Structure 1
């Protein structure tokens, strides 16, 4: 496979970035290198839908570009699963893409060097502790794309991801003042896909006990389906 060959996902992403980059702030050489790495290292990995796995980070970057047009964030979003799912290391990313991109990818990686595995809640919590809104933005849009492509999961996993999204990602989206368009889309997608079709998903003290204190003001919020 020629990993440098453009695909419809990379073409779509690059065309959008070029249309948005009216101030010439993006480093397209670095972005193209990240696309190459995503294709090369994710290789033959597939999503449950059967699509090539690298299409997922390219779609995440596509969505993020509307909200954060910054080279480091775009590149980190393209590479966000490489350390967790491929042979790529944080050191490899730092050597090629720089310290900040490597740092973001590391903070988004659930599988840790000591053998432990971070929960989604802990990744969000760490982003708050470190005041790293860019990591939070990437994780949010990663979840947006995953919620859009739930069809091939078991009902149990779908329900788990939706409840998790409403308890943690909706709160984070509100806290960083994400556009109401995205917040409404997240709620709508969760409501459409929730197998039990419940009218409300309460956020309780026990559900949110490990989260950063900034979440406390939302703990008793009920989210309409």
Structure 2
């Protein structure tokens, strides 16, 4: 069972950087223990919900949210959860088996995934897509909660980098279509140099997969 406290403390990207996160059942059992009918119902429901990205690649989990993709995050067809292979994720020092959906409710603003670093379960890396203003306006809108550094240019793309005020967290954000793709790294007690380096490394590994 996922630790939702950690998830919400990490996903400042979900609420603080995405410009308004959405308000944020299990199948019932039968009279004789775990329900086979419930399992069947879950399977049928899941098969009716989109489980692949724009290229037809399957998500690394089964989503039960029919509006995981929505008008809040469809400004880019980039899908963080399928952007890298298991080998590429591992090469970044991330545990691919730790993947979790960024969504904890249907019709959220953000769409993406989070992972934990190998050997460091409290060191969390996430990436999400959220519709919003262009990168300049995005930075301006979040200037009260993010201390922005000088922009970087990664593979010809302007990339905003900043630290979350009062938290051991760093983000890097890139414009993709009518959306912002934000990579977030969080670990209690880690210096900005470490969290930002990891956020930038993940951005470098994925930026060419993000439509301009």
Q: With structure 1 as the length reference, what TM-score do the two structures score? A: 0.32
Higher strand residue share: 2
Relative contact order: is structure 1 or structure 2 higher (C-alpha 8 Å, sep ≥ 6)? 2
Q: With structure 2 as the length reference, what TM-score do the two structures score? A: 0.33
